[in-house]
Chain A
Amino acid sequence: MARIVLTDVGVVLGGVDLSDHIASVEISQNFDEVETTAFGDGGRTRVAGLEDSTLSLSFHQDFDTGEVDATIAPLVGGTAAFELAPFGTATAASGTAPRYSGTVLVTEWTALNGAVGELSTADVTWPVVGQVARGTGA
């Protein structure tokens, strides 16, 4: 399988495609670790518990109408659907081009961040509500 250099990841939040204002994305799927060790086991045994995933994004801030701040600010404190397309939203989901989707709780928003001479960015990590789905178009 070919290695991937990310150049055109599609990121849709709340139905809004903000890909051209996002420089970094990370979907981290985690599960609670539930121990099931019992008498007679030679070592600890475990099963996966509840999923506890997060979505991290790095935005380039933009205060224009319909851009980053105008889109995210109304979502703070609520939930928003997300969709991540590793090869861009124009590429249909398939077994080799999966799409990850779900719902996040928009728990934080740093509207203004940066030092003199720097690009204003907003880095966030939002918890996923429920589970992350991996779509392959099948």
Chain B
Amino acid sequence: MSWRVTSNRLAWGAGTVLGADDLAGCNIDALVQGGHLAPVKGKRSPADQVPDSPGRKKKVEPEQPVSDDEPAEGPEEQE
């Protein structure tokens, strides 16, 4: 777990990412509530940051919701 400094009132500059060891002895919850720290989500791997890289599954677009006015998967009429 790590936290990013979001204020200018801590010993570290804004934007600094700190680990639990750096914040030993601090009330982390209070610092987060006070707007001095923000939790940093886990790092993304480099492969995840390359769009459409080979071997990477393309993002599946969500299907459009089926309207009640149109038949969903009914057989087409034959003339």
A residues in contact (CB < 8 Å) with B: 14-18, 65-66, 70-71, 73-75, 78, 80-81
The reply to whether B9 and A16 contact each other, CB–CB distance below 8 Å, is: yes
Which chain A residues lie closer than 8 Å to B9 at the CB level? 16-18, 66, 71
- Complex A-B: 16 CB contacts under 8 Å: A14-B30, A15-B10, A15-B23, A16-B7, A16-B9, A17-B10, A65-B7, A66-B8, A66-B9, A66-B34, A71-B9, A71-B30, A74-B30, A74-B34, A75-B27, A80-B30
Q: Cα distance A15–B6 when bound, in Å? A: 13
Known contacts A66-B6, A66-B7, A66-B9, A15 near B31 by CB under 8 Å: yes
- Which residues of chain B come closer than 8 Å to A80, judged between CB atoms? 27, 30
Binding site for A on B (CB under 8 A): 6-11, 23, 25-27, 29-31, 33-36
